[in-house]
Structure 1
Amino acid sequence: MSVSDLPDELWARVLELGAASAALGFRDLCCLAIASRRLRRLSLHPSLWSGLISRDFPSQSQPSSSSSSSQQQQQLDPKSLYRTKFERHKLRMAEARRRAVYEAEGRVLACRRRLTELEESMCAEGDRMKATAQELDSLERVRSASVALNVWQPQVVHGRQKQLVQQCTVPVDSRFSALHMELKVCKQQISTYKNAYVCDL
């Protein structure tokens, strides 16, 4: 006994079980429809497509509150109704993907903006740290010159040291401590920016 000898009732039952168990989808039924005239006739049975509608579009299989929409759906055969629902679903999915892409692009843009801000902040903090280090170096020379004034030196060297001390208009010790603290804060801030930069990458 060959497969072609099976009665239509058995074939119909096989197709119903396949559709009910999700083993058969709309693409499978469309492929069967072009296999032979007999399978085409069986695959077009309304109960199969009604089952696919209930399975693939459960939220849309309920009766519509709009009378005109409900009447239009009742006029369509189940396969045509499935095609209509599938096309609408495909449009909704395409729109959802488009929105997801826009949202992802927005997040990427925001991330790039954040990274740019962090880079600018790190550069500004680096410049501040460099200026602080230079001022510290100058104060260190002033402090060394101030100590050297108490030691005998040649007149030329002594004059230079004295001039260097006189040009300093801020209290050396207090300013020196403040600059050390500022340098420490700069390093901590740069470290914070770097960590945030790595996390945002």
Structure 2
Amino acid sequence: MSMLPDDLWRSIMQIGVETKTLDYKSLCCLSITCRRFRRLAFEDSLWSPLLLSDFPSTTNNSISRGKAKNLYQIRYEKERDKKRLAHRRAVLRIESEIAVHLRKIREIKLRSLEEKRKMNEAVGELLNLHRIRGASVALNVWQPEMIRSRQREMVQQTNVPVHVRINALEMEVSLCKQQIAAFDRAIQFQKKKRRAAEEELDSVKYHPLQNLQNTSGHSSGCRVRSKRLKGTSD
């Protein structure tokens, strides 16, 4: 390899850049192998096509005013900082979504507990009314002296007809059960969305410098890429 002239190595590198088999990383790796490759890899004839290819907004006038490699480094650092900021915004957005899901889950659980408390109170009152109905039947069938004083007090303290109140309480218990079931479904839905957001967050953190301009909603694309990487590693 040391016997080959510089023009031949320069042509090989130019062909690699033109065919896109040599990128900026490859040139940087070549530049640290030896002094000769370092000198050849820093030439503008190699970095100018890379600069125009990777950063199409670059003009020929800007290349002529400075070293192509230095301009590439400046553009690359700006793009890297932009991607890091986009990554940080994406992480903050997903973390806020997770926090919202957790808050909604807590709120729904509190409402479900309140509904269960109301249902338990209705069930307790319903049991007492059934006892009152039994006491009323006993008053009509048995002799008054055979009725315990507690049952007599329960009958006397009832202002609303027992059967009307029992029907109302049974309807209230049924509505409470339906509401609790709806709360349980809402909790499961919020947990599912929270898990999806957590998976998206893990995927974004696994690829910190990817293009995050279109990362909204669920991270289906990110998860597909993650699965592909795992498949290739296996």
Q: TM-score, normalised by structure 2?
A: 0.74
Name the structure 2 match of 1:84: 74
Letter of the structure 2 residue corresponding to residue 109 of structure 1: A
Superposition deviation, residue 92 in structure 1 = 0.5
How far apart, CA to CA, are the structure 2 residues paired with 1:23 and 1:170?
90
For structure 2, the residue ranges without an aligned partner over 5 or more in a row are 192-234
How far apart, CA to CA, are the structure 2 residues paired with 1:13 and 1:187?
79
Which of 96, 103, 107 aligns to 2:97? It is 107
Name the structure 1 match of 2:9: 11
- Select between 85-94 and 163-172 the one with higher mean Cα deviation: 163-172
Per-residue CA deviations over 1:78-111 (Å, capped at 9, x if unaligned) read 1000000011011101111111111112111111
Aligned residues: 191
Where in structure 2 are the equivalents of 1:83-162 lying within 5 Å? Answer: 83-153=73-143, 155-157=145-147, 159-162=149-152
Q: TM-score, normalised by structure 1?
A: 0.85
Name the structure 1 match of 2:44: 46
Letter of the structure 1 residue corresponding to residue 9 of structure 2: W
Q: 1:137/1:22 Cα in 2 relative to 1: closer, same or farther (>3 Å)? A: farther
Name the structure 1 match of 2:58: 61
Q: 1:13/1:74 Cα in 2 relative to 1: closer, same or farther (>3 Å)? A: closer
Are the equivalent residues in 1 in contact too, given 2:126–2:166 (CA < 8 A)? yes
Tell me whether 1:30 sits opposite 2:20 in the alignment.
no
* Structure with the greater alpha carbon radius of gyration: 1
For structure 1, the residue ranges without an aligned partner over 5 or more in a row are 64-69
Superposition deviation, residue 124 in structure 1 = 0.6
Superposition deviation, residue 45 in structure 1 = 2.1
- Select between 28-37 and 148-157 the one with higher mean Cα deviation: 148-157
Name the structure 2 match of 1:66: none
Per-residue CA deviations over 1:157-194 (Å, capped at 9, x if unaligned) read 25543321111112211221111111111111111111
Are the equivalent residues in 2 in contact too, given 1:148–1:161 (CA < 8 A)? no
Q: 1:20/1:131 Cα in 2 relative to 1: closer, same or farther (>3 Å)? A: farther
RMSD: 2.1
Q: Moved runs in structure 1, 4+ residues, more than 6 A?
A: none
Q: Percent identity?
A: 39
Superposition deviation, residue 4 in structure 1 = 2.9
How far apart, CA to CA, are the structure 2 residues paired with 1:15 and 1:146?
104
Are the equivalent residues in 2 in contact too, given 1:15–1:48 (CA < 8 A)? yes
